[in-house]
Amino acid sequence: MAQVSMTVRMDEQLKKKFDSLCSQFGMSANAAMNIFANAVVTYRCIPFEIKAPDEPTTNKGLETFYALRAEARKRGLQYMSLEEINDEIEESRAERRTNIVAEP
């Protein structure tokens, strides 16, 4: 298989640390990048989690929802999972369909 060249730009200090760590692993930075590329192709995903840092909620609707949920817990109201909510919705829809069919 033919080899091709790829250029990657990164911070100088990061590159030094990366090279040093790869050396400790007994491999070159080039070998490490090839291992990464092979993992991405093999598993069809980035082989580690990438996520944004947690940020405070700024959505007023979501804040209100959380406040209502906290109040419901204080009052001893049962917390419902999404699955339970969906089950109740489906039961309600089935009941409505039955009533529509039953009406003359």
pLDDT digits 0-9 by tens, 48-89: 887 777 766 567 777 777 777 777 777 666 666 777 777 778
pLDDT tens digit sequence for 2-57: 999 999 999 999 999 999 999 999 999 999 999 999 999 998 988 888 777 776 65
This prediction has a pTM of 0.48
Q: Please, what's the b/e burial string for 33-68 (b: 16 or more CB within 10 A of its CB; e: otherwise)?
A: eeeeeeeeeeeeeeeeeeeeeeeeeeeeeeeeeeee
Burial class (CB in 10 A: 0-12, 13-18, 19+), 101: exposed
